[in-house]
Amino acid sequence: MNNHTTLADTPSSDAPALTPAFSPLYQQIKGLILQSLQSGEWKPGESIPSEMELAARFRVSQGTVRKAIDELASDNLLVRRQGKGTFVATHAEQHVQYRFLKLVPDQGDLNTEGPAQREIVDCKRLRASAEIARALALRAGDAVLQVRRVLSFAGVPTILEDLWLPGGPFKGLTAERLTAYHGPMYALFETEFGVRMVRAEEKIRAVLPDESQSQLLQVPPSTPLLSVERIAYTYNNTPMELRRGFYRTDSHHYHNALS
């Protein structure tokens, strides 16, 4: 039962022996739970087995399962609810919608403004440029989906987004389905394509809009915009979306907490 050293622990060989490769039990359990999440054994929004059940299944103590779940919860992959169970995190029906959108109104919050109006400007298939391919870990020339949309708050067009998705996982995505779906786009990706965005990285710059951008956002071409380039990842650090957002910041700002 104290078998801390499962696989991957080669005590001595002619390997460089740089990484001792010691991995605590709870990390291994974490990996096993992750596999189950990835394989779809438990779907977004559903509850996973209780700590006791998992402890029995993996032949470890409840405390070890607990620590594994703790980490997955702090990674926002699971959500604990006392008295009810532990649930697979989802972008849908999450009390905090728009988990990855950090643009907020200067006064009030997103709820004050009511829901955003969304308009799909464009949605087409094309072949990945070298740049897009690199970002999505594809080969240049692979099929990708390109979407352009505008988000408006209180009737004011505020966000213009271009996004690129790998053609394979998102086969069948059309402008119609995007338009028909009400709710966060990442929720649609979950339910319709089984793609769960788990984390993302953003690179932010200040830019001036080109002609089409200034038209769609209804601002003069001299209006500086926030350029937000995001790469969103599923499990295994697999990039699944490249998104270039252009935010008007005349009555909104990008909010970030540092600690």
Contacts of 38 (CB under 8 A, 6+ apart): 235, 236
Closest among 159, 156, 154, 166 to 226, alpha carbons compared: 159
Minimum distance, C-beta of residue 72 to a copy of itself, in the bound complex (Å): 12
> Does residue number 1 form part of the binding site for DNA (CB under 7 A)?
yes
From the list 34, 36, 45, 61, which residue makes contact with DNA (rule: CB under 7 A)?
A: 61
Interaction residues for a copy of itself, span 198-217 (CB under 8 A)? 198-208
Q: Which is nearer to DNA, 27 or 223 (CB)?
A: 27
Nearer to DNA by C-beta: 37 or 133? 37
**66 binds DNA, rule: CB under 7 A:** yes
Kindly state the number of chain residues that form the binding site for DNA, as judged by CB under 7 A.
28
| Neighbour tally for 54: CB within 10 Å | 22
- Measured CA to CA, the distance from residue 208 to residue 42 in angstroms comes to 45
Question: Cβ closer to DNA: 30 or 243?
Answer: 30
Neighbour count for residue 106 (Cβ, 10 Å): 9
Work out whether 258 is an interface residue with a copy of itself (CB under 8 A): yes
- Element of type H or E holding 215: helix 211-217
Residues numbered 24 to 53 that lie near DNA (CB under 7 A) are 24-27, 48, 50-53
67 part of the interface to DNA, by CB under 7 A: yes
Residue 249 burial by Cβ neighbours in a 10 Å radius (0-12, 13-18, 19+): middle
Stretch that binds a copy of itself, among 68-76, 117-125, 150-158, 164-172 (CB under 8 A): 68-76
Residue 109 — φ and ψ, nearest 5°? Answer: -135, -175
Distance in Å, CB of 70 to a copy of itself, minimum: 10
Residue 177 binds DNA, judged by CB under 7 A: no
State the chain's maximal CA–CA distance in angstroms. 68
Choices 23-31, 145-153, 168-176, 192-200 (CB under 7 A): range interacting with DNA: 23-31
In DSSP notation, 94-108 reads -SS--TT--EEESSS
Distance of alpha carbon 216 from alpha carbon 228, whole angstroms:
17
Residues that bind a copy of itself (CB under 8 A): 74-76, 99-100, 102, 198-208, 222, 224-227, 230, 247, 249, 253-259
User: Which positions touch DNA (CB under 7 A)?
Assistant: 1-2, 4, 20, 22, 24-27, 48, 50-53, 60-64, 66-67, 80-86
